């Protein structure tokens, strides 16, 4: 009986070490990821009130969102500036980076969304979204969600670009190829 416990403990230890070894290491104080529709669905506890999923329907669903997650790990508080766009192959802008007020207004302007759902979406946006394209980020680890909004369907291939500048002048640009629409 004792050998089974030792074997089970050894397996658990091996799995936990293997899990740690495969976890990605942070690449500096800033990272960014293009979120899949599945990852976007996890950003809200209720799928019907997820503000990162655009309005759908035959007549109403005219917009498409591209969603990025920005992760910061700052040794001290810093000013952060975000700039970006989504561009088609010909260089034309096909989706624009949205501000928090633009995202809130998007949901307030939708007549068929009940007021309580607009409030729930606003609360989720306020939790995840940067307060403005230029904001003060606190020391430590923080995550933000940003949305690019374009007319549905956003043409593919397209390139998503997000430039992030910290208060000390450090700048980093992230680019992603927009995957085919599924």
What are the pLDDT digits (tens) for 126-178? Answer: 999 999 999 999 999 999 999 999 999 999 999 999 999 999 999 999 999 99
Say what percent of the chain tops pLDDT 90. 68
- Section 93-121 average pLDDT: 91
Read off the pTM. 0.81
CB neighbours (10 Å) of residue 75? 8
CB atoms within 10 A of CB 106: 21
Which CATH number covers residue 151? 2.60.40
Number of domains making up the chain: 1
Q: Are 44 and 124 in contact (CB under 8 A)?
A: yes
Model confidence at 182, in pLDDT bands (50, 70, 90)?
Answer: low
On whether residue 84 sits in a domain, the answer given is: yes
**Would residue 103 count as lying in a domain?**
yes
Range of the domain at 113: 28-177
Residue 6 lies in a domain: no
């Amino acid at each position: 009986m004792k050998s089974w416990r030792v074997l089970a403990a050894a397996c658990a230890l091996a799995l936990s070490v293997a899990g740690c070894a495969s976890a990605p290491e942070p690449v500096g104080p800033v990272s960014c990821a293009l979120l899949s529709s599945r990852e976007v669905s996890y950003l809200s506890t209720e799928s019907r009130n997820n503000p990162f999923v655009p309005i759908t329907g035959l007549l109403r669903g005219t917009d498409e969102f591209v969603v990025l997650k920005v992760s910061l790990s700052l040794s001290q508080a810093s000013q952060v500036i975000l700039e970006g766009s989504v561009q088609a192959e010909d260089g034309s802008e096909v989706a624009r980076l949205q501000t928090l007020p633009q995202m809130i207004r998007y949901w307030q302007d939708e007549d068929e969304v009940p007021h309580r759902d607009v409030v729930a979406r606003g609360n989720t946006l306020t939790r995840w979204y940067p307060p403005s394209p230029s904001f003060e980020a606190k020391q430590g680890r923080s995550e933000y969600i940003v949305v690019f909004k374009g007319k549905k369907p956003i043409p593919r291939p397209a390139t998503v670009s997000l430039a992030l500048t910290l208060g000390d002048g450090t700048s980093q640009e992230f680019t992603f190829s927009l995957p085919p629409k599924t």
